[in-house]
Amino acid sequence: MPSIRALLSDLDERTIARRIGVAHDEARMSFPLRTSTVRSFDEYTAVIAEYVRHHYGRCVSRGGHMSRSEAAGRGKNMLNQELRRQGGDFVSAYRDCEEGVNGGLRHVLDILCESIKAEGIEYYTRDAFDRHIPPHDWRARKDMVGQFIGHCGVALPGIDRSDPARYARDVEELIRAFLRGLRQTSSIFRRL
């Protein structure tokens, strides 16, 4: 029988931090960084690839391996996504690392850590919804979604609390709102 308490317990900030966040923070802290600058673009790309491989190996694939080119590509993509919101990109971050400004390489690795952590939290959240909100029982699904919306209330930006059935059909919008609210209020997403 589905339980709102079980869903809320799995989505509690402390539970998410314990199950997901701590491992990512520890992966970041365990990566040795000898300097916050780089001498060349090749060195910059190599450090990013090495870090992404390290982090994924510790937190995502748990000992699995990723090719250098895939790791570099993922790292560049994550940096572009995050830094474009701030008016920069992968290349502007390289310049910061070359000159040792704006946190240099340490800042770049922090961005990568937070990006991989956010991805892990998103997958964890989707899984919690899938496990606790039954796809085959419309009444239970509608009831669970209504209870979830009622419990979280204003912490769900953009969600219309008057029509839970709307979100019971497809919980994707509800998941995205929950993740937005979590990013805005949670210490899980605060930088190291």
pTM (2 d.p.): 0.88
Number of H helices, E strands in the chain: 10, 0
pLDDT at 160: 87
pLDDT at 15: 94
What proportions of the chain, in percent to the nearest 5, are helix, strand and coil?
A: 75, 0, 25
Per-residue pLDDT tens for 19-31?
999 999 999 999 9
pLDDT at 192: 44
Per-residue pLDDT tens for 99-140?
999 999 999 999 999 999 999 999 999 999 999 988 888 888
Q: Give the span between the Cα atoms of 51 and 55, in whole angstroms.
A: 6
Residue 48 main-chain phi, psi, to 5 deg: -60, -45
Cα dihedral 172, 175, 176, 182 in deg (nearest 10): 180
The domain locations on the chain are: 4-189
Low-confidence ranges of the chain (pLDDT < 70): 1-2, 187-192
